[in-house]
Amino acid sequence: MLHLDLKPHNILITNKGHHVKLIDLGFGWSESYLHDLGFTRDYCAPEQQAAKTELFSPATDIFALGKIMQQFGLTNEAVIQRCLKEDPVDRSQSIGELQKAIKRHSKCYCQQSY
């Protein structure tokens, strides 16, 4: 399932355990739910704005995560720029792939932030 409306207001972090909770799944999408293409313009991927549902994939939500990480300075610029590629094929294709990229760049990022 794709969220398709990731933005800071839809991400909660618990006080105990710092667990991440996604809320507002009103625009959540799966292959069986194609009729509502709502989104928040500042965070949505180009394929969402163009209503190209055939291009929807985890890379669509990864674009939004890139926007969020950019807004809050959460990772290396190279990781963010890959998340924000126009073509979804050029973005990370899974959260696992994105996590590896963040870890790969984390030493460099941490050293720069001191």
Measured CA to CA, the distance from residue 92 to residue 81 in angstroms comes to 11
pLDDT for 113: 46
* Domain locations along the chain: 38-112
pLDDT for 77: 95
CA angle 112, 11, 102 (to 5 degrees): 30
pLDDT for 114: 40
- pLDDT block averages, 10 residues each, the chain of length 114: 88 90 76 62 92 91 96 94 97 95 74 46
Give one DSSP letter per residue of 5-31, joined into a string: ---GGGEEE-TTTT-EEE---TT-BBT
pLDDT for 107: 62
